[in-house]
Amino acid sequence: MAATEATDSTHQLSSVTGPAAEIARAAGAMLRGHFESGVATEYKGDVDLVTVADRASEKYIVEQLQKAFPEHGIFGEEGARFGLDREYRWYVDPLDGTTNFAHGFPVFCVSMGLERRAPGLAADADGEMVAAVIYDPMRDELFTAEAGKGAVLNGRKMHVSKNKRLAESLVATGFPSQKRHASPNIHFYQQFTLRSHGVRRAGSAALDLAYVATGRIDAFWEFKLNPWDTAAGVLLVREAGGLVTHMDGGGFTLDSREVLATNGLIQEEMVALFKAMFAGEGLSPIPTPAEFAAMRAAGK
Ligand code: IPD
Ligand code: CA
Ligand code: CA
């Protein structure tokens, strides 16, 4: 069951999430405008899309972040690299869900996560995620979190679901746009489909993580995401009481090539299932279309 509390409807945003949320809302409004008027699409890779909206949104977010937080660095998907030696660094996905966006499928968002990197931290080490803002302009939903202060959806505190069993859970995943043939995720998709209420594949990893935080889904996993996809959503999930790890239960870092986010209660069950599947155990065979046609013809 989705879980937000009606009690804190006046939750105040802080001096960091307040201005960041305004920037995300304005960038989201810009995306919505492009979405409604239609956009030209280009290819970054063989099936990796980018639109003018991705670039316009990043340009706007970078300009506004530099005004609001001139002392912060910025690492953006569409190429922004600014002040990366600074104590604070924003990870920006100016449009998460570009494939949806380009096809007119209304599931996409703006994602901005702020990391604090203690002075002297090694370049390849993670700092601490301190603030997160994800904005879905099609539903006017603003998800925010700050370290130690909980996670909030449109002013209402949110927390992860209370489902204790995978069999009663709704889960989500995604597939990388590049090198899809090299991903085993379709096997995991099949196995979790057989063992849960279903697997959603909505096409925005940042919203998938935000939905774990709200309790709308009980878990999310994906391979090959980037820091701009996960930085904000990971803090949302943790601040909403969930867990974010690797699929073996080990520690997640921003450059992890895999993520498992759960409500905490189905974590062990999912990790055990991933372990068994990685070892090739208990995988149900999938009938070929020809076998399926023969079964149908035989009335089975
Ligand atoms: C993508 C989305 C998608 C996920 C892909 C990401 P983009 O981000 O988050 O859900 O499956 O792996 O690359 O390219 O739309 O920002
Ligand atoms: Ca993304
Ligand atoms: Ca993007």
Q: Give the ligand at the shortest distance from the Cα of 205.
A: 1
pLDDT for the residue numbered 8: 43
Nearest atom (ligand 1) to Cα of 99 = 15
What CA–CA distance (Å, rounded) separates 129 from 136? 21
199-216 pLDDT, tens digit per residue, is 999 999 999 999 999 999
Please work out whether the CB of residue 96 comes within 6 Å of at least one atom of ligand 1.
Answer: yes
Averaged confidence pLDDT in the chain:
91
Domain boundaries, the chain: 10-158, 166-278
Tokens describing residue 221: 């996993």
- Choose which residue among 31, 91, 105, 177 to substitute to test ligand 1 binding: the one with the highest number of ligand atoms within 8 A of its C-beta: 177
Q: Which residues of the chain have pLDDT under 50?
A: 1, 6-10
What CA–CA distance (Å, rounded) separates 28 from 14? 20
The residue type found at 258 is E
pLDDT for the residue numbered 286: 83
Residue 3: CB partners within 8 Å, gap ≥ 6? 158, 159, 160, 161, 162, 214, 215
Residue among 46, 48, 32, 39 nearest 99 (CA): 48
Tokens describing residue 85: 């030696």
The residue type found at 271 is V
Cα of 111 from ligand 3 centre, angstroms = 9
290-299 pLDDT, tens digit per residue, is 988 898 899 8
Q: Are the C-beta atoms of residues 157 and 149 closer than 8 Å to each other? A: no
Cα of 210 from ligand 3 centre, angstroms = 16
What CA–CA distance (Å, rounded) separates 240 from 252? 17
Q: Are the C-beta atoms of residues 231 and 254 closer than 8 Å to each other? A: yes
Cα of 284 from ligand 2 centre, angstroms = 31
pLDDT for the residue numbered 46: 60
18-74 pLDDT, tens digit per residue, is 999 999 999 999 999 999 987 766 666 665 556 889 999 999 999 999 999 999 999
pLDDT for the residue numbered 180: 66
Q: Are the C-beta atoms of residues 197 and 283 closer than 8 Å to each other? A: no
Scored b (16 or more CB within 10 A) or e, 50-74 reads bbebbebbbbbbbebbbeebeebbb
Q: Are the C-beta atoms of residues 100 and 204 closer than 8 Å to each other? A: yes
pLDDT for the residue numbered 107: 98
| Fold held by 10-158 | Fructose-1,6-Bisphosphatase; Chain A, domain 1 (3.30.540)
Q: 170: which strand partners?
A: 198
Pairing of strands 170-173, 198-200: parallel
pLDDT for the residue numbered 177: 73
| Fold held by 166-278 | D-Maltodextrin-Binding Protein; domain 2 (3.40.190)
Write down the pTM of the prediction: 0.93
Cα of 57 from ligand 2 centre, angstroms = 13
Nearest atom (ligand 1) to Cα of 229 = 9
Largest CA distance in the chain: 69
Q: Give the ligand at the shortest distance from the Cα of 54.
A: 3
Tokens describing residue 286: 């999938």
Q: Are the C-beta atoms of residues 200 and 209 closer than 8 Å to each other? A: no
Cβ neighbours, 10 Å, residue 84: 11
Q: Are the C-beta atoms of residues 270 and 262 closer than 8 Å to each other? A: yes
pLDDT for the residue numbered 22: 97
pLDDT for the residue numbered 38: 77
Cα of 96 from ligand 1 centre, angstroms = 6
Nearest atom (ligand 1) to Cα of 176 = 12
